[in-house]
Structure formats: C-alpha cells, structure tokens
Structure 1
Amino acid sequence: MSIPNEALQKLMADIESKAAFSSQQLQIVKAQMAAKQRDIRLLQLTAEELNTLPPGTRTFEGVGKMFVLEPITSIKARLENEEKTLKNDIKDLEKKYNYLETTFVNAQQNLDAILRGR
C-alpha cells in the first residue's frame, strides 16, 4: 500500500520541523546547563574565599544598592542552598536534554525510513 505524494510530503515536513525544533531546543538546554555550571563554580569560589577568612571577620552582602552586615555562617548557608538549587536545576535540564535528544534521533530515523522506503 503506497502513501500518496501529498501525504508523504506533509509527513516529511512535520518530521523535519520536529527535528529542527528539537535541535534548537538542544542548543538552548546546553547553554542553560553551561550557565548553571558557571554559576556553581562561582559559588564554590566564593565559598572557598569565605573559608580563608578568620571567624570574626565582618562580612557584607549586597542588597540592591546597599550592603548589609551578615555573619559568615549565614552567607555560607545561602551559598550552599543556591548550589543545591542549581544542581537540581541541572538534573532537570539533563532529563530535558535526554528527552530532546531522543526526539531528535527518532525524527532522524523516521526521515531515513521514509526516504529508504520511497
């Protein structure tokens, strides 16, 4: 049983658009993951710098256009919480990346199958 040319062309166009969309989304997710990795590294470097300070050191945290006196322990706790949040975000992005990658591969395989069957 043969598929009419119009239906075949429409099917191919749909598959190509899915593949293109998945490819674009893959690039976006890669960029988001890289940005989150950079943020984690910045937090780690900041925590390392805080660890070198003596315990009684007065530390300030920027809030808008002003600086507020904060104890080192609260700043370290905030940095740890932010790092955990970023790591969870990266895990979610990895899941999304795997899904998009699977979608892209499936679309490519479908296109190949249609072209070979033609």
Structure 2
Amino acid sequence: MSNLSDDTLRKILQQIQTQAITSQRQLQMVKAQIGSKEKERKILELTMRELATIPGDDTKMYRGVGKMFIAQPRAEITSKHTAQEKALGEDVSNLTKKAKYFEKQMDEANGQLRDIFRSQQRAQQQQ
C-alpha cells in the first residue's frame, strides 16, 4: 500500500468511506422498517387475541375499510388476519436478512479502512 500515490490512496479511502456510510444508512432504514413491521405484528396479534375471546361463530363482525365498516363472517376476518400475520413474518425475515447483509458490508468496509491505516502507519514507522 505504501507504493500508492497520495491521490490514489485518497480516492480509495473516499470510496471505502462512502461505502461504509451508505451501508450504515441503509442498515438504519432497514432496522426502522423491522421495528415498524414488528409493531404491526403486535397490533395484529392483540386484535386476533381479542377476537378469539368473543363467543359464537354467528356474532356479527365488521372490518374497517377506509372510513367505513363492512360486515364479514368471522372465518373470513380470521383468515385475512392470519394471512396478514404470515406476510408480516416473511417481511420481518427478509428485512432481517437485509440487515445482516448491510452489517457485513459495513464491517468489511471498516475493516478495509483499518487495514489501510495500519499499513500506512507501518510504512511511516519503517521510514
């Protein structure tokens, strides 16, 4: 690394630093999305738990649609909630994989920066 010119070294450092910053921002966004999906999942679980406490299959149930409510059978509402819960679980799983990828990318960039600085320090000490 010591045989690189200052301009080349500076460009490499800027690229690696840009990559680290970009990965960190993307990681923060993904973590925010995970938090949002987890919140939605908890609300859905609470709703399903409350619906389970209502006795009888013939009880009238309504689903909110915008500013209106539509009467629907209990089985249909339950199946929609179950499907929504499954989709949220898959979303959280995919976002977690993305977060791990960005963490790895950020760690690699930081490791490269450390290696460059160490090699430059060694080169300076040898001179």
Q: TM-score range by the shorter chain?
A: over 0.9
- Paired residue type of 1:74: E
Equivalents in 2 of 1:87, 1:67: separation in Å?
A: 26
Which residue of the partner structure matches residue 82 of structure 1?
Answer: 84
Percent identity for Structure 1 against Structure 2: 36
Q: How does 1:1-118 map to 2 (within 5 A)?
A: 2-55=3-56, 56-118=58-120
C-alpha deviation, 1:65, in angstroms: 2.4
Q: Aligned AA for 1:17?
A: T
How does the TM-score come out when normalised to structure 2? 0.90
Q: List gaps (5 residues or longer) in structure 2.
A: 121-127
Runs of 4+ in 1 over 6 A off after TM superposition: none
1:10-60 CA deviation, whole Å, 9 max, x = no partner? Answer: 000000000001111111111100110010111100001100111221111
1:72 CA drift (Å): 1.2
The CA distance in 1 between the partners of 2:7 and 2:88, in whole Å, is 47
Higher mean Cα deviation, 56-65 or 87-96? Answer: 56-65
Paired with 1:102 and 1:84, the residues of 2 have a C-alpha distance of 27
Structure 1: any 5+ residue segments left out of the alignment? none
- Please tell me whether Structure 1 or Structure 2 has the larger radius of gyration of its CA atoms: 2
Q: Match of 1:57, SS?
A: coil
The aligned amino acid for 1:16 is Q
Task: Write out per-residue CA displacement over residues 55-108 of structure 1, whole angstroms, 9 at most, x where no aligned residue.
Answer: 221111112222111111111110000010011011111111111001000000
Letter in 1 for 2:40: D
CA distance in 2 between partners of 1:63 and 1:39 (Å): 17
RMSD value over aligned CA atoms? 0.9
Which one-letter code corresponds to 2:88 in the other structure?
L
